[in-house]
Chains A and B, each alone.
Chain A
Amino acid sequence: NAGVMQNPRHLVRRRGQEARLRCSPMKGHSHVYWYRQLPEEGLKFMVYLQKENIIDESGMPKERFSAEFPKEGPSILRIQQVVRGDSAAYFCASSPSQGTQPQHFGDGTRLSIL
């Protein structure tokens, strides 16, 4: 899927645990975007990161959610103290420069909260 790798593909957590979702962008891409998708709905933007910088986090819940894209390694979306409402598919996309369309998407991580 255009080289964006997400893992794990499926993640099950109990309420109160932490979830860590990883995204390795396409080779040569330094811009990463995270989206959340609920069943039967479109993707909702969460956060946009460049290497070591958060550019736009206007779609990210203020509490429990954080994201990073370190100089080395994948981008991480972290959800602390998960609740049932966090159950969703989380997609990562990458692009070679700011705001460029099209974005290249991974196949997502499906998070299930028990």
Chain B
Amino acid sequence: LAKTTQPISMDSYEGQEVNITCSHNNIATNDYITWYQQFPSQGPRFIIQGYKTKVTNEVASLFIPADRKSSTLSLPRVSLSDTAVYYCLVGDMDSSASKIIFGSGTRLSIRP
């Protein structure tokens, strides 16, 4: 099972770019990297998913180096509403959910 390691917390200010790095040294060949966002009293929401290199969507970018042992979620120009917990998950797209592990996540706090 590919375990992930993320910073427990991060602080930033409105308008800044925030980069959250996740380590997954034991990532397997078939594993994808998925990031979720969770607000208090809500379920996790999918942000972005990737396998290698760079993926970008309307809310974030995901950078994955060639060795895939880490990944970086990049949030451009954050706002107060980006304050949330961010989870990095690694798992096989075809595997049972039990092989997908939610760590403790990164608690991101955005200040005015």
Which A residues lie at the B interface, using CB under 8 A? 1-2, 4, 33, 35, 40-45, 48, 55-56, 58-59, 91, 93, 98-108, 110
Contact = CB atoms under 8 A, between A and B. Distances in A.
B29 interface: no
Interface in B66-112: 87, 89, 91-98, 100-105
> Which of B94, B98, B101 is the most central at the interface, judged by chain A CB atoms within 10 Å of its CB?
B98
B13 interface: no
Contact of A1 (B45, B92, B94): B45
9 contacts: A1-B42, A45-B97, A98-B96, A101-B46, A101-B49, A107-B41, A107-B42, A108-B41, A108-B43
Nearest to B89: A101
Contact of B97 (A4, A40, A42, A99): A99
Contacts of B41: 107-108, 110
Given A4-B43, A93-B43, A101-B34, A55 B91 contact: no
> Which of A43, A104, A105, A107 is the most central at the interface, judged by chain B CB atoms within 10 Å of its CB?
A43
A102 B46 contact: yes
